[in-house]
Amino acid sequence: MNTLKVHPRIKELYKFFKINGRLVDIEDFDPEILSIFSREVLKKIQEGQDGWQELLPSGISEMIEEKRLFGCSRRK
């Protein structure tokens, strides 16, 4: 599938990598999570908003809370 939009200045570089097998399509992905953006999750963590835990893979939110990563304040 060739749906990636590339800036005209790097189009030839993109083609070089694609032809030489350095870029490959991602075929095994979960379309349900395509609306999750890391910057939005990080903002929720830093602002102490609820709901960011459900946006992450199992076990990751617990580690973030336990180690107080990304400005997270522990909630226990």
Tens-binned pLDDT, residue by residue, of the chain (76 aa) = 567 888 999 999 999 998 999 988 888 999 999 999 999 999 999 999 999 999 999 899 999 999 999 999 866 4
Instruction: Supply φ then ψ for residue 34, to 5 degrees.
Output: -65, -20
Q: For residue 48, is it within any domain?
A: yes
Q: What is the pTM of this model?
A: 0.66
Report d(CA 23, CA 15) in Å as an integer. 9
Whether 70 contacts 61, CB under 8 Å: no
Q: For residue 54, is it within any domain?
A: yes
Contacts of 50 (CB under 8 A, 6+ apart): 44
Instruction: Give the side-chain half-sphere CA count within 13 A for 58.
Output: 0
Q: For residue 6, is it within any domain?
A: no
Q: For residue 21, is it within any domain?
A: no
Task: Tell me the residue range of the domain where 59 lies.
Answer: 26-76
How many domains does the chain fold into?
Answer: 1
Whether 48 contacts 40, CB under 8 Å: no
